[in-house]
Amino acid sequence: MPSKWNRRTGQPDLPGVQEAIAQALAERTPGGVRRGELDRDGRALRWVEAGQVGAAPVVLIAGSGGSSLDWAPVLPELAEHVRVVAYDRAGLGASEPDRDPGRDPGRDPGPVLDGQLEDLAALVEHLGAGPAVLVGHSWGGLLAQLLAWQRPELVAGLVLVDPAHEEFRPQAISAAEAVLIRIRLLRTALAPAGPDREDALDRAAAAAVAHPHQRRTILAENRLTDLVVPELRRRRAAGRLPDVPVWVLSATAGLPRAMRERWTAMQAWVAGGAARGEHIVVPGAGHAVHEDRPQAVVAAVLEVSDHARYVRNA
């Protein structure tokens, strides 16, 4: 394990977290991965990327409480074809937490939501290769839509992987998500800690939840997805997706049939509302489609990326 693991506290510093994530992904990615960092008013926003240097980017946006490491099942193959960037939102993974006390999701979720969108927009602009294809899972799928409504010039296409929807927030789902988060933290707490863990992916997963601020942010994001519902309704009513390809992938497993059908119908409605929308139901996939059926996600991303490249070169 890199020397950035603090043996006194048993925790890596945040550059060490990024190094652990990069190492785990590099072992699976031909050509390795590169680390990136952007100064956001004294706060570091960090990411890993792979594939062609300087090409138009595909930006991967994790679900609630997730990190860049969540994309390990698809990033290596995508890197063989496109420039792919997986970043960590503020307070998650290797990125430093937002220090603005006004961005408290328990008091006012609006500034937190705006902060996440501002970071995403700043990342796309910093990459400096034109608009990006945004690939968002769950909460990340909502963030991708929000940025497309607000900053359409930054978006070349959307791939929404079982995206969350503000009208599908039954209490059973919120409770299930909270349990999954606690299971993730519990598994990490019970696993051997420190630099002597043998598997790079295990070490990276442990580092991504080793700090108290990471765990607080995971739980805060889970609360945010409920608190921000009225604001999401308002923004969706006022928003319009740009004329770009929008592919929506729906899971089929993991929920009671009626609940799954309702969620899938909402996702189909999102695709149907886009000028170039496609809705794909992925058989046998649970909510984390990119883990259960990574090839379906890879194929969708490459199709949308090819279309975006054709439009740029036309």
Q: Is the pTM of this model over 0.85?
A: yes
CA distance linking residue 262 with residue 258, whole number of Å: 6
Structure tokens at 235: 């923004």
Tell me the angle at which helices 171-190 and 212-227 cross, rounded to the nearest 10 degrees: 170
CA angle 213, 214, 215 (to 5 degrees): 90
Q: What is the dihedral of CA 29, 34, 37, 38, to 10 degrees?
A: -90
CB 246 within 8 A of CB 271: yes
Structure tokens at 229: 């519902």
Domain boundaries, the chain: 5-313
CB 165 within 8 A of CB 136: no
CA distance linking residue 250 with residue 162, whole number of Å: 5
DSSP string, 87-120: E--TTSTTSPPP--TT--TTT-HHHHHHHHHHHH
Q: Percent helix, strand and coil across the chain, each rounded to 5?
A: 50, 15, 35
* 81 phi and psi angles, rounded to 5 deg: -125, -30
The neighbouring-strand residues paired with 155 are 132
CB 42 within 8 A of CB 127: no
List CB contacts of 261: < 8 A, sequence separation 6 or more.
none
The pLDDT of residue 185? 46
| CATH-assigned architecture of domain 5-313 | 3-Layer(aba) Sandwich (3.40)
pLDDT in tens, the chain (314 residues): 333 545 444 556 888 899 999 999 999 998 999 999 999 999 999 999 999 888 899 999 999 999 999 999 999 999 999 999 999 999 999 999 987 655 666 566 666 889 999 999 999 999 998 899 999 999 999 999 999 999 999 999 999 999 999 988 754 444 445 445 544 544 444 454 444 445 888 888 888 888 888 888 888 888 887 888 899 999 999 989 999 999 999 999 988 999 999 999 999 999 999 999 999 999 999 999 999 999 999 999 999 999 888 776 65
Single-letter residue type at 75: L
